[in-house]
């Protein structure tokens, strides 16, 4: 099973058939990734490029103030009827890390500062590399929650199920794992 990191989630490999390919011309997935990940999304799930809508931004942040992201969610859910939203972070991220990033400003830096503040106690006992890895993980969990919150604002009380997945890409191992939330 997955490696247990702390009480909120664990990490396990992404099964290639997590989202089965249904129709190469119908998008099934909205993917929120980081602009510096260098990752080919379709290789993780064996989907055709047309089955995925990809939005990349700084640190794969699902900020409500980011109209590109919010518009992509609404379009993907309303018009394209996607059933899956994936938030994918990556280890070695140039934005989601414990040392300050030069040139990044509000609201992105505020989100990173908030993560650092919220998880300061857990981060203190880790090596620098482990701190950054942990921060990437908790960032994906946080962004999954923000996506869920955005969907509840846009679609209050609606019962259509949209699965929100959290993935972690490791460039060194050329592998993606998924976050399994412990409920």
- Strands 29-34 and 9-13: what pairing? unpaired
What dihedral do alpha carbons 87, 92, 94, 96 form, nearest 10°?
50
Asked if residue 149 has a cis previous peptide bond (ω within 30° of 0), the answer is no
- Strands 9-13 and 3-6: what pairing? antiparallel
Q: Which residues pair with 167 in a beta bridge?
A: 88, 178
The Cα 81–Cα 78 span in angstroms is 6
**Was 35 annotated as part of a binding site?**
no
The Cα 139–Cα 60 span in angstroms is 9
Q: Is 181 exposed, middle or buried (0-12, 13-18, 19+ CB in 10 A)?
A: middle
The Cα 143–Cα 140 span in angstroms is 5
**Was 36 annotated as part of a binding site?**
yes
Three-class SS state of 99: coil
**Was 78 annotated as part of a binding site?**
no
Annotated binding site for Zn(2+): 34, 36, 90, 93
Annotated binding site: 34, 36, 90, 93
């Amino acid at each position: 099973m997955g490696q247990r990191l702390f009480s909120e989630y664990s990490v396990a490999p992404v099964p290639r058939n997590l989202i089965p390919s249904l129709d190469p011309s119908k998008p099934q997935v909205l993917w929120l990734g980081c602009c510096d990940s260098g990752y080919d999304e379709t290789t993780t799930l064996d989907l055709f490029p047309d089955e995925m809508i990809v939005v990349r931004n700084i640190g794969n942040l699902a900020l409500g103030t980011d109209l590109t992201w919010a518009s992509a969610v609404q379009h993907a859910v309303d018009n394209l009827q996607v059933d899956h939203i994936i938030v994918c972070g990556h280890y070695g991220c140039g934005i989601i890390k414990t040392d300050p990033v030069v040139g990044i400003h509000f609201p992105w830096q505020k989100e990173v500062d908030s993560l650092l503040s919220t998880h300061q106690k857990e981060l203190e006992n880790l090596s620098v590399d482990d701190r950054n890895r942990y921060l990437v993980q908790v960032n994906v969990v946080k962004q999954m929650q923000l996506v869920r919150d955005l969907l509840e604002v846009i679609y209050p009380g609606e019962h259509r199920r949209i699965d929100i997945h959290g993935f972690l890409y490791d460039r060194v191992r050329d592998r993606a794992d998924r976050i399994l939330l412990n409920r």
